[in-house]
Structure 1
Amino acid sequence: MILAITGPTSGIGAVTFRKLTPHFEKVLLLARNPDKAKEMISGLPMEQQAKAEYVHVDLASMDSIIQSIKTIQSKVSHIDVLINNAGGIFHEKSVTEDGFELTLSANHLGHFLLTNKLMPWLLKSPNPKVINVSSEAHKAAKVNFDDLSYHKSKYSAFTAYANVKLFNILFSKSLAEKYEAQGLQAFSLHPGVVKTNFASEAGGIFKLLWIFAKPFMITAEQGAQTSIFLGKNEISAAQNGSYFKNSKPAKTSSSANSKSMREKLWYNSERLLEKWL
């Protein structure tokens, strides 16, 4: 069994990596920072360190993702589980080298490209699985498909984040629909409100609320439990495409269940990434 995970060097991603490594023959750490990745690997028990390998990927650069895919394909014959864990919220609007708003690129478009380009490798597995880390914040989404990168409208850090967390759920449902017949399972999840450095880039009212909420937050160890559960356990086919919370299927917003929204997101994602797909 081979696992690939984005964002494995901090927060719930680091916990997920450590806890799942014993259950896999090989683990690929898809991350930007080689020093942090090597530190994560050296922190494993000695007998597990040879299982883990770093692959450079920057989800804010589509060229970087394409290069990482070539590297992955040279290292492994297939992938059994892909966990799209990386993400963030950014107080100031930032546009990537590819012209995409950073929240959209780092939380959705990067994972959309990565997953789709790795699909042939996933489908070589007898039981392939894609797990997308979303959030209850998806319920506050206000999507304008005509301006996903805020080129025209005023940027809101929280709305941008809520939108991409909705996209994580819609993407998971689309993957289940499109590839279920070929054996793929896809899930999204809410990790809980976790006390990590996640909101270090946030500002304004969101950062203030985050500070006040910290005493009530759960640990990264607790927040990683649903990712770990989905990563190592066999999940019923009846739950394919589901959104999980506390390791159980949970309710989503009406938008997250909308087939029209799924189709619009897939169409617009393909349109934006046409150059790399």
Structure 2
Amino acid sequence: MNLAITGPTSGIGAVTFQELCPAFDQVFLLARNKEKADLLLKSLPQEEQGKVIFVSLDLADLDSVKNAAQTISNNTKSLDVLINNAGGIFPKKQITKDGFELTLSANHLGHFLLTHHLMPLLLKSDGPKVINVSSEAHRAAKVDFLDLNYEHHRYSSFNAYANVKLFNILFTKSLVEKYGEKGLASYALHPGVVNTNFGKEASGIFNIFWKLAKPFMISPKEGAQTSIFLVKSKLSAKQNGYYFKNKKPMVPSGSARSKDIRNELWEISEKMLKNWL
């Protein structure tokens, strides 16, 4: 059994990585920071360290994403689980070297591209899974597909984040529609409001909310449990494509359930990524 996980060097990603390592024969640790990855690796028991392969990945650099997928392909013939865990909220509008707004690239486009290039490996597995870490913030999304780079609307860090968390759920359902009959299972989840360094990058009202919510937040260990549950559990085929919270299926927003919106997102994502697909 082989696992690949993005964003494993801190927060819920680190806990997810540490707790799942014993269940897999090979684990691909996809991260930007090699030093943090090395420290994480040293936190594992000695017998677990040899199964981990560090793969350099910057989700805001689409060449890096494509190279990461190739590295994984060079090291295994199949992949059982892909956890698209990495994410971020950014206080100021930034455009990546590829020409995309940073929140969009780091939370959606990078994972869309990574999953696309790893799909052949996933489909060679017996019962492959793609797990996308979303958020209840998706309920506040207000998407304008004609202005995903905020060229015409005023940039809002929270709006940009809410939109991509919606995209995570839409992407999950699309994966099931396109690959479910080939054996793929895909789930999205809300990890909870977790006490990590995540919110420190936010600004405005969201930053104020984050500080006020700090005393009520759950630990990274608690926040990782739904991801771990989805990896380890054999769920009903009826639940394929579902959105989970506290290890239970939840009904997401109306937009997250819209076939028209998810089809539009898929089409636009492919157009944006045409040079890397």
Give the TM-score taking structure 2 as reference length: 0.99
**Partner amino acid, structure 2, of 1:74:** N
Partner of 1:67: 67
SS in structure 2 opposite 1:53? strand
Structure-to-structure mapping, 1:10-49, within 5 angstroms: 10-49=10-49
SS in structure 2 opposite 1:126? coil
**Partner amino acid, structure 1, of 2:201:** E
230-239 or 103-112, which deviates more? 230-239
**Partner amino acid, structure 1, of 2:18:** R
Distance 1:246 1:21 in 2: 22
SS in structure 1 opposite 2:177? helix
Distance 1:75 1:32 in 2: 19
TM-superposed deviation, 1:152: 1.5
Structure-to-structure mapping, 1:160-171, within 5 angstroms: 160-171=160-171
Structure 1 residue 99 corresponds to structure 2 residue 99: yes
Partner of 2:142: 142
SS in structure 2 opposite 1:55? strand
Partner of 1:266: 266
Partner of 1:231: 231
Distance 1:25 1:75 in 2: 13
TM-superposed deviation, 1:70: 1.2
Partner of 2:189: 189
SS in structure 1 opposite 2:186? strand
SS in structure 2 opposite 1:241? coil
TM-superposed deviation, 1:16: 0.2
TM-superposed deviation, 1:160: 0.3
Distance 1:52 1:64 in 2: 19
Distance 1:2 1:233 in 2: 16
Identical amino acids, percent of aligned pairs: 63
Distance 1:62 1:235 in 2: 33
SS in structure 1 opposite 2:27? strand
SS in structure 2 opposite 1:149? coil
TM-superposed deviation, 1:30: 0.5
| Count of residues in Structure 1 that have an aligned counterpart in Structure 2 | 277
1:133-186 CA-to-partner distances (Å, cap 9, x unmatched) read 000000000000001111121100000000000000000000011101100000
Partner of 2:124: 124
TM-superposed deviation, 1:90: 0.5
SS in structure 2 opposite 1:252? coil
TM-superposed deviation, 1:231: 1.1
Q: Runs of 5+ in structure 2 lacking a partner?
A: none
Partner of 1:249: 249
SS in structure 2 opposite 1:194? coil
Distance 1:235 1:22 in 2: 21
Distance 1:97 1:235 in 2: 40
SS in structure 2 opposite 1:77? coil
TM-superposed deviation, 1:107: 0.3
TM-superposed deviation, 1:69: 1.2
1:32-68 CA-to-partner distances (Å, cap 9, x unmatched) read 0011111111110111111111000100000011111
Give the TM-score taking structure 1 as reference length: 0.99
1:178-232 CA-to-partner distances (Å, cap 9, x unmatched) read 1011000000000000000011211122111101110000000000000000112
Distance 1:266 1:20 in 2: 30
TM-superposed deviation, 1:251: 1.1
TM-superposed deviation, 1:91: 0.7
**Partner amino acid, structure 1, of 2:243:** Y
Distance 1:161 1:198 in 2: 12
**Partner amino acid, structure 1, of 2:143:** V
